[in-house]
Structure 1
Amino acid sequence: MLTSKIKGPAIFLAQYLPPAGEACTLESLLRWAAELGYKGVQLPTWDKRIFDLEQAAQSQQYCDQLLALCQRYQLHITELSTHLQGQLMAVHPAYNELYQGFAPAQVQTEAQKQQWATEQLLLAAQASKRLGLSCHVTFSGALLWHTFYPWPQRPAGLVEQGFAELARRWLPVLDAFDAAGIDVCFELHPGEDLHDGLSFERFLNATGQHPRACILYDPSHFLLQQMDYLQFIDFYHQRIRAFHVKDAEFRPSGKAGVYGGYSSWLERPGRFRSLGDGQIDFNAIFSKLTQYGYTGWAVLEWECCLKHPQQGAAEGAPFIAKQLICVAERPFDDFAGGATDAGRNRRILGLSN
């Protein structure tokens, strides 16, 4: 049976949760994903309608029941996600009000948000271990994002101090995941202090090259920043342990560019699109990841300013499945070779035996 090194297709369930207050069960989402052809699901950890993070961290029985439910639909859990909690690991006061909905109502101040987020991530480490997972996906949070464009001029030492503080907050969490044997994969995303290769390198340096500090590769965020998302894989493939398959397009105009002019997603030059509707070369991405031996999951994260999410989900599974590469066991021209030995090689080189 032919198998691909990259596992998939899988889907991130966050965008498919109904509004708060509406009925929702994990089983209904699993049944829906399986019927569409998905083999894995990435689970958000902030909605107790489908997943109880505290219970998963404390109860092996709960985790075993969860795994059995997934097995009933022939689905795997790819990773747990703490994107909302990770965002609160570092909140600049200017963003405190905007992130108020990411935590319980009683969690008000920036310090309370960080403490709550840390506790959540420590629970996620234990829950991931109980579920037998090897990777976790999250955001880094941001102390420096309001200074991302260097005007007014940043004071000397500001960036270094910001990353030192971010590392101080994350190191106990990274150590906890290390003890659990799990990689922490940061989605490099505008709005986070970890948003491109250089900012990730700064974080690595600040954490002493922590072995569990890894990358959730999402090319859509790099396209919208006008980065070379293929060369990024060349640079950082050893740290890429998770993969969001998400499409995007960038069409600059005489009125707006990468910053978007405060426009809605529909009107921005850079927009997220359903798989196959954007500009990203997924053939090249899957080839390069396969070349470097990536063996994690290919997970659809659906976001699009035009297409209905159900259509995006239905089209996503076959799109990803088509990209999966079954690696050849021997060179394609092996049939033309012949038996050889050191003596024959010397003769071919024109050297005497």
Structure 2
Amino acid sequence: MSSEQSTDQHASEDRLRQFLRQSKLGMLSTDCEPASRILETNRAFCNMLGYQVNDLIGIEMATILHPEDQQQERRLFADLVSSKRQTFHVEQRFLHKSGRAIWTRVTCTIVPAESHPLRHRFSIIEDVSQRKAVEQRLNAEQRLLRQLLDLQDRERRLVACEIHDGFTQDVVAAHMMLQSLQNGYQKRRQEIPVELTQALEFLERATNEARRLMDELRPMILDEMGIVESLHSLVSQERERGSTAIEFVHRVPFSRLPALLEGTLFRIAQESLTNIRRHSQASAAELRLTQVDERTLILELQDDGIGFDPTQVPHDRGGLSGIHERARLFGGGATIESTLGKGTRITVKMPVELPDRPSGAPHVRWTI
């Protein structure tokens, strides 16, 4: 190497060290030996962990890396050294001098010997602990809300069972007894008292109302048959209530899902179909339930109704906001697309871990 090249290299290294010192991001270089000892670092990284620069020079990376992240670190580092990859980005926890974990985002690459006296690894480290803390709080809130939703669902199921096993059975028994009495009048060719006829009508209405309440609380078919049959039943009921020809299409390889997820999908479909009946003036609609991969379900409802302007809908409108919130609680999301005069499409994506099932599920289509 000529003296001019040597001077240029020293100047380049000086600029790099100046950049290291002034950067607000943590920076770190280690050797490429298995122990991965620290060669250089900057003040930002030291401040991140509560150390002085001299405290870190020469120590092994494992000393300041969270034990649960060390196996991943060794694997990624080995890939760099063996040239299986040129760089990697990963979220890792470093250990503060006090012992607490500091979440960071690390970008790492290998600097070849041609551009440095020693082949080494260079890392840029960003402190993301505040973002992680926010994410963890949100995740904790979502877990709590899911637990509350599960509790509400259990209570709905319990009340529905109480109505079915108690009130409804008594009403049905009373109705049968009065029918028997009515039959007796008919056999004796006697005039049936008006009060008896009215009592039978009241009991029949009470029975129908009890069944409606049970369906509102927790449809029995949902626990007995699962989400697919429940959606089929829901679509049938909505068709009877309104004038919209609703088609239900599903392509899923499972028979059952966790009860809370089934209940959530059912409530989203129920709210969406109610909106069609009340607001859309649609002549036709299609509800689809599809598993697009091992971890993702899509529930989609499209109608040919009058549509609406999404920008004019209040954010707190119960039906639409409820769809968004229920999907969000499961780590999913909902999109609602609508154009005046061209109908509405609601798409809900839900992540779900499904049991292994045989492939080649049949494509089932019902029109009612």
Question: Which TM bucket (shorter chain)?
Answer: under 0.3
User: Relative CO higher for 1 or 2, CA cutoff 8 Å, sep ≥ 6?
Assistant: 1
User: Counting strand residues as a fraction of each chain, which structure ranks higher?
Assistant: 2
TM-score (norm 1): 0.20
User: Counting helix residues as a fraction of each chain, which structure ranks higher?
Assistant: 2
Higher Rg of the two aligned structures: 2
TM-score (norm 2): 0.19
